[in-house]
Chains A and B, each alone.
Chain A
Amino acid sequence: MAWYLILPAVFVVFLVIGFPLCQVIVYSFMKIKLDGVTPPSFVGIDNYLFIFSDSDFWHAVWVTLIFSFFSVTIEGILGLTVALVANSKFKGRTLLRVAVLIPWAIPTVVSSQIWRWMFNDIYGVVNIILANLHIIPHKLAWLSTPATALPVIIAVDVWKTTPFMSLLLLAGLQLIPGDLYEAASIDGASGIRKFFAITLPLVTPTLLVALIFRTLDALRVFDIFYIMVGGQGNMATVATYNQQQLIQFLDAGVGSATSLTILIFIMIFVVIYTRFSKTSFE
Chain B
Amino acid sequence: MKDPDNDKSPVLRILFYLLVAVILVFNLFPFVYALLSSFRPSNDLFSTDLWPKALGLDHYQAVFKDARFVGSLINSVIVAGSTVLISLALGSLCAYALGRLPFRFKAPVLYLVLTMTMFPQISVLSGLFVMLKNLGLFNTRQGLVVTYLIFTMPFTIWVMTQYFRSLPKELEEAAYVDGASPLTVFWQILLPLTMPGLISTGLLAFIAAWNEFLFALTFTVTDTMKTVPVVISQFSGTSAFEQPWGSIMAASMVVTIPLIILVMIFQYRIVAGLTAGAVKG
Contact = CB atoms under 8 A, between A and B. Distances in A.
Q: Do A and B come from one complex?
A: yes
B48 A114 contact: no
A123 B31 contact: no
B3 to A, nearest CB: 6
Size bracket of the A interface: 35 or more
Given A209-B159, A223-B213, 19 more contacts: A1-B182, A2-B103, A3-B103, A10-B109, A10-B113, A13-B112, A13-B113, A21-B115, A90-B5, A100-B27, A105-B263, A106-B30, A111-B30, A115-B30, A128-B50, A159-B30, A174-B272, A246-B123, A267-B118
Interface in B170-226: 182, 196-197, 199-200, 203-204, 207, 211, 213
B158 interface: yes
A222 B119 CA distance: 12
Given A115-B30, A179-B280, A5 B94 contact: yes
Nearest to B101: A2
B1 interface: yes
B120 A9 contact: no
B61 interface: no
B24 A99 contact: yes
Given A13-B112, A106-B252, A99 B23 contact: yes
Interface string B246-275: 001100100110011001100100111111
Contacts of B252: 106-107, 110
Contacts of A9: 90-91, 93-94, 113, 153, 157
Interface of B: 1-5, 7, 16-17, 19-20, 23-24, 26-28, 30-31, 33-34, 46-48, 50, 90-91, 93-94, 96-98, 101-103, 106-107, 109-124, 126-128, 130-131, 146-147, 149-150, 153, 155, 157-159, 162-163, 165-167, 182, 196-197, 199-200, 203-204, 207, 211, 213, 228-229, 232-233, 245, 248-249, 252, 255-256, 259-260, 263-264, 267, 270-275, 279-280
Contact of B166 (A6, A89, A175, A238): A175
Nearest to A176: B274
A8 B94 contact: yes
A102 B260 contact: yes
Interface string A72-100: 00000000011011011110101111111
Contact of A168 (B91, B96, B159): B159
17 contacts: A6-B97, A9-B113, A16-B150, A17-B150, A21-B115, A21-B124, A90-B4, A92-B20, A95-B24, A109-B233, A117-B245, A123-B47, A159-B27, A175-B163, A175-B196, A222-B120, A246-B123
A10 B274 contact: no
A103 B90 CA distance: 28
B150 A122 contact: no
Contacts of A153: none
B217 to A, nearest CB: 10
Given A13-B113, A102-B260, A242 B120 contact: yes
Interface stretch (A36-44, A142-150, A256-264): A256-264
B98 A220 contact: no
Q: Is the interface of A mostly helix, strand, loop or mixed?
A: helix
B214 to A, nearest CB: 9
B256 A106 contact: yes
Contacts of A262: 118-120, 123
Secondary structure call for the B interface: helix
Interface string A206-250: 100100110010001011000000000000001100110011000
A2 B94 CA distance: 8
A276 interface: no
Given A9-B90, A168-B204, A2 B97 contact: yes
Contacts of A108: 211, 213
Nearest to B96: A5
Given A90-B4, A179-B280, A247-B122, A105 B260 contact: yes
A105 B275 CA distance: 29
A19 to B, nearest CB: 5
A239 B126 contact: no
Contact of B114 (A20, A89, A270): A270
